[in-house]
Structures are given as C-alpha cells and as structure tokens.
Amino acid sequence: MHIKVRNLTFIFSSPFSPIYTALKGISLDIIPREIVAIVGPTGSGKTTLVQHFNGLLLPTKGTFSIDSKDLSDSKTDLAWVRRNVGLVFQFPEIQLFEEKVYDDVAFGPRNLRLSEWDVEERVRLSLKLVGLNFGQFKDLPPFRLSGGEKRRIAIAGVLAMNPQVLVLDEPTVGLDRRAGHLIEAVIQKYHIQGKTVVFVSHDMDLVARLAKRVILLDSGRIRFDGSKEDLFKNETILKQAGLALPQVCQFMEKVKKMGRPVRTDVYTINEAKDELEKMKRIPEDNK
C-alpha cells in the first residue's frame, strides 16, 4: 500500500485549551514493504502523525492518502482503511477488555464477520507470531499477565486483522530488555512477511537495528528523511533534536578515537563483535 502525505497540517483546537499546531506542512511517501522509524524529541508531533495513518485523526489542511484514497474524503471507507492499517498505541495493553486472551485477539476478526473456524486460525497464527502458546494462553485473563505478555497480546489483536501496514507507537517503551527483544522480533517477522512497518521510538538502538529509513520530526516539521546511515553521520541534526547515537555506535567511536582502525557504521552487538575480531587479525604494524 502506497501512503502519500502532502502538506499535512494538524491543529488541535478545544474550548478548554489554546489552539496548538502539532504538524506543519508534512509531506512524505511510504512505499510497500518499507520499514520506517519516526523519531524526534517529545512534543515533535510523532504520535499525532501516526494517528493519521488509520484515520483516527484527519488533516486540518493538506491530504493523507492510502492507495490514492484520501482519508478526508467522505466517500473513503475508513473501515477498509482500519482493516489494512493496524495501529498499535504506545500502551496498547490498556485496550484489553475481554475476560480471556482468545476473545481479545478474536475481537477484530469477528468484526470482519469471518467464520469461527477462520477466527480461530487467525488467533492461533497471531499468538504464534508474538511468541505465545495458543493452548497455554487462550483461556487466561489478560489482566493477570505480565506487562510484556499484555503488550504482545494487544499486538496480536492487531495482527489478527492481517493489516498490510503495521504502525506502532513506542512499541518497547516501559518493557524490560527480554520483553523488548520479543517485541522487536515480532516486528522483524512481520516485515519479513512482506508487510510495511512504521514505528515511533525514542530508542535509537532499536531504530538502528530495525529501520532502513528514518524520518526525524522536530516542532511539527520534518527535519530529516533518509537512511539511518546518513542520519547517524549527521551529528549536528542529532544534537539539535536532542538525540544520541546508538550505544553501539558510541562505543565504536571511542574505539576509533583510541587509534583502532574500526568501522563506526555498525548497529548491532554482533556487528561490533565481528568488527573487533577483524581488528585483532590485523598485523600490529598495520594498526
């Protein structure tokens, strides 16, 4: 699905608060099968932008289109949009409301009027995708589970709709390292299936590991849109946005400043290990 945004401006207006322009003339394209990270300081407009992806918010000015369907057009079927674009909120576990895990994950497919057999298949596949055993979890009350398990069940409920685009707002925030890695694996699996993934994150290490393209928002405007490699080379724009290099990059920078001939464009621990192993094999006279 091709997502096209042109000159999008969004203004929050309420009789109880001052008028606030959250997005200012945003234009971008996201093509099928991309994996895109949206980053930026708090209050930059990231959450406001992703809530446009399934029509939860509509532009005050400009257009937001999916496969040439303008979401602001009264003729556009927003139910179709929400079947094809799955939005996972920052704390999706607060959306859990059924008494059993099965019913929570099945809620969306049932609304699609699928047969109960098809519903069960989708629940099974979605729980498997997020690493939860169907037989073990299907009858459990969601509220008794750990934070990481709740997050995965909430994501499974979105995946059960089989959307072509998965949008996640801070998917690993508030989780311990193990739970965060499990959510990361879910995102990777979904992207491997050929689907488009867009995620918001303050975690630059997560961005480095997952994203190919990064969009940096600041004060409601796009300040950078390009490859993660180009972003991490641009120290000026990172500092202006209050962002730091991924920890692996920072470590490799320190190693290089010690006079070691290592690459600094590495984004995972395994890549860093490989680079350090290569350095060990270089004859001492060539270092």
DSSP 286: G
Average pLDDT rounded to a whole number, residues 11-27: 88
CB 164 within 8 A of CB 132: no
pLDDT at 157 over 60: yes
pTM comes to 0.88
Per-residue pLDDT tens over the stretch 209-259:
999 999 999 999 999 999 998 998 888 898 899 988 888 877 877 887 777
**Whether the Cβ atoms of residue 164 and residue 84 lie closer than 8 Å to each other:** yes
Taking the domains of the chain in order of start, what are their residue ranges? 3-245, 246-287
Q: Which residues pair with 37 in a beta bridge?
A: 199, 214
Q: Of all residues in the chain, what percent carry a pLDDT higher than 90?
A: 56
For residues 164-168, give the mean pLDDT.
95
Instruction: Output the DSSP codes for 29-96.
Output: EE-TT-EEEEE-STTSSHHHHHTTTTTSS--SEEEEEETTEETTSTTS-HHHHHHHEEEE-SSGGGG-
pLDDT at 201: 94
Instruction: Kindly state which CATH superfamily the domain 3-245 is placed in.
Output: P-loop containing nucleotide triphosphate hydrolases (3.40.50.300)
